[in-house]
Amino acid sequence: MASPEDLTGAPASLYAARKGVYPKKVDGFFRRLKWAIMAVTLAIYYGTPWIRWDRGPYAPDQAVLVDLAHRRFYMFQIEIWPHEFYYVAGLLIMAGIGLFLVTSAVGRAWCGYACPQTVWTDLFQHVDRLIDGDRNAQLRLANGPWSFEKLWKRGLKYLVYLTVAFWTGGAWIMYFADAPTLTHDFWTGQAAPIAYGTVAVLAATTFVLGGFMREQVCIYMCPWPRIQTAMMDEKSLLVTYKDWRGEPRGSVKKAAAHPGAFGDCVDCNQCVAVCPTGIDIREGPQIGCITCALCIDACDGVMSQIGRPRGLIDYCTLDDAASEKAGGAAQPVRNTLMRPRTLIYLGVWSAIGAAMLFSLGQRTRLDLAVQHERSPLYVQLSDGQIRNTYTLKLRNMEARPRRVAVTVDGLPGAVLWSETGSRGAAGERIDVPLAPDSVTRVKLFVAAPGGGPARQDFTIAARALDGDPGGDAETIQFDQSEAGQ
């Protein structure tokens, strides 16, 4: 740290180069948990587009598909149309509240386990270990001069990076088109240029962010850590070095020579060596820590080797840290997970989820929107009737052709016909055929005896005729002049 006096001299540069991070291999509960989460998340990411889902002949059979060209979003049984975008908004709100929930309970657990940056960095670091060897070998190679070994190892490593990066970008585009077809088109050069562009951009970002920038993204670029600190409180579980138990540090030898003079930490630096962001947790909570708990695994390993109790570094709340420091006991983890704040978040989160599920179950797959022709608002017909004109937008959201009946309600003596029918054949209902999965526009003429009120509310309803009771109705105005002639 430069002192103020240092600054009066001419500093060569205010820029500090990155110190390489070569995390050491570690084993333990949290490391295995991290492997498991990595396996699941990567499997979901790479595998999802290949799941098939039968939706009948008129819709794609990909389980999860963002069909930008036809403006549809398919997710298993659920199909979202653009006007139902509020479901996506609802999901985003749930994701936000879910983040509140997780963060208030276990701090930056998202960062440590599930964040794509963490998952891919972890993957790339594993590639490093496979090719260069563990921490010491990596360090030796990095600091050593260019040799044949260094050359081929670097070459091979970047090749593996690139392959992983390419697959990452390649999996992304599969969500936007039929995966098998797109794969075929991609390799035969027939895919859309945007597909190649997307793969190139995502491969480049994966290569750079996962292969080289790594922890710098988490510490300097990512806004989450700044936001997440605002969601944590004294009761959130954080990775904590129990300095009241560990300090002062001293090796096993020194501790044996001076019993009682030293704490439990043997200053072996294992916690620093395994840290994927290269920080020293013994300096206290800090923004560089993604709470991945690998240091817990490392220190626990050391503690069991030397026969001291585990948990010198542990998940611990600030409140517990204070009470443990004062000699008290920590409260059970259950209490920190189940407290008003987390329960309220959980309640809101599940309420939104339940409401969305309910409305998904209730929503109709036949949607009617009515627009009243404004110019002219009404037309006087030669037999004295008044005619209003409406444009109906009928959305058939099912993947099969349907027929619907359009009727009017609450307008005595009204008859209707459409631009394809004639007034001579006008009646109380018209039938409209709807193509599968499409919007049909119908110009609807409604005529009613004149002399009624100047403005009257009535209902136009569309009902499916194929046994499905689903339908939709909209209340709209019928206008005529009061003065009549």
Nearer to ligand SF4, 308 or 463 (CB): 308
Strand segments, DSSP code E, in 282-378 are: 313-316, 366-372
CA distance 298 to 291: 14
432 binds, among ligand SF4, another protein, none (CB under 5 to 8 A by kind): none
Nearer to ligand SF4, 169 or 246 (CB): 246
Q: How far is CA 87 from its chain centroid?
A: 14
Nearest-10 Cα torsion for 465, 469, 470, 472:
80
Nearer to ligand SF4, 242 or 463 (CB): 242
359 binds, among ligand SF4, another protein, none (CB under 5 to 8 A by kind): none
Handedness of CA 320, 325, 328, 330 (dihedral sign): positive
Q: How near is the Cβ of 165 to ligand SF4 at its closest, in Å?
A: 24
Helix (H) or strand (E) holding 139: helix 135-143
DSSP 312: S
Helix (H) or strand (E) holding 58: none
CA distance 54 to 76: 9
Nearer to ligand SF4, 161 or 262 (CB): 262
Handedness of CA 300, 302, 304, 307 (dihedral sign): negative
Q: How near is the Cβ of 10 to another protein at its closest, in Å?
A: 5
Amino acid residing at 292: C
Nearer to ligand SF4, 46 or 224 (CB): 224
Q: Which residues, in sequence order, are CB contacts of 169 under 8 Å at separation 6+?
A: 198, 199, 200, 201, 202, 203, 206
Q: How near is the Cβ of 164 to ligand SF4 at its closest, in Å?
A: 22
Q: How near is the Cβ of 218 to ligand SF4 at its closest, in Å?
A: 9
Are 478 and 455 in contact, with CB atoms under 8 Å apart?
Answer: yes
Sheet of 455-464: strand order equals 429-434, 402-409, 455-464, 471-479
DSSP 267: -
Amino acid residing at 367: D
CA distance 442 to 161: 56
376 binds, among another protein, ligand SF4, none (CB under 5 to 8 A by kind): another protein
Where do contacts with another protein occur on this chain (CB under 8 A)? 8-10, 373-376, 379-384, 387, 389, 417, 419, 421-424, 445, 450, 485
Residue 4 phi, psi dihedral angles, 5° rounding: -55, -35
Nearer to ligand SF4, 202 or 293 (CB): 293
9 binds, among ligand SF4, another protein, none (CB under 5 to 8 A by kind): another protein
445 binds, among ligand SF4, another protein, none (CB under 5 to 8 A by kind): another protein
Nearer to another protein, 205 or 380 (CB): 380
375 binds, among ligand SF4, another protein, none (CB under 5 to 8 A by kind): another protein
281 binds, among another protein, ligand SF4, none (CB under 5 to 8 A by kind): ligand SF4
Amino acid residing at 325: K
CA distance 44 to 382: 67
Q: How near is the Cβ of 174 to ligand SF4 at its closest, in Å?
A: 32
Nearer to ligand SF4, 271 or 444 (CB): 271
Q: How near is the Cβ of 382 to another protein at its closest, in Å?
A: 3
Q: How near is the Cβ of 379 to another protein at its closest, in Å?
A: 5
379 binds, among another protein, ligand SF4, none (CB under 5 to 8 A by kind): another protein
- 367 three-state secondary structure: strand
417 binds, among another protein, ligand SF4, none (CB under 5 to 8 A by kind): another protein
Q: Is 258 exposed, middle or buried (0-12, 13-18, 19+ CB in 10 A)?
A: exposed
Q: How near is the Cβ of 411 to another protein at its closest, in Å?
A: 18
Q: How near is the Cβ of 373 to another protein at its closest, in Å?
A: 7
The structure tokens 């002639």 sit at 485
Triad 161, 109, 338: Cα angle to 5°: 160
Nearer to another protein, 190 or 438 (CB): 438
Nearer to ligand SF4, 74 or 241 (CB): 241
Q: How near is the Cβ of 465 to another protein at its closest, in Å?
A: 22
CA distance 272 to 279: 6
For the chain, the first-to-last Cα distance in angstroms comes to: 92
CA distance 470 to 199: 42
Where do contacts with ligand SF4 occur on this chain (CB under 6 A)? 239, 241, 246, 265-271, 274-277, 279, 281-282, 289-295, 298-299, 302, 312-313
Nearer to ligand SF4, 174 or 298 (CB): 298
313 binds, among another protein, ligand SF4, none (CB under 5 to 8 A by kind): ligand SF4
Q: How near is the Cβ of 247 to ligand SF4 at its closest, in Å?
A: 10
275 binds, among another protein, ligand SF4, none (CB under 5 to 8 A by kind): ligand SF4
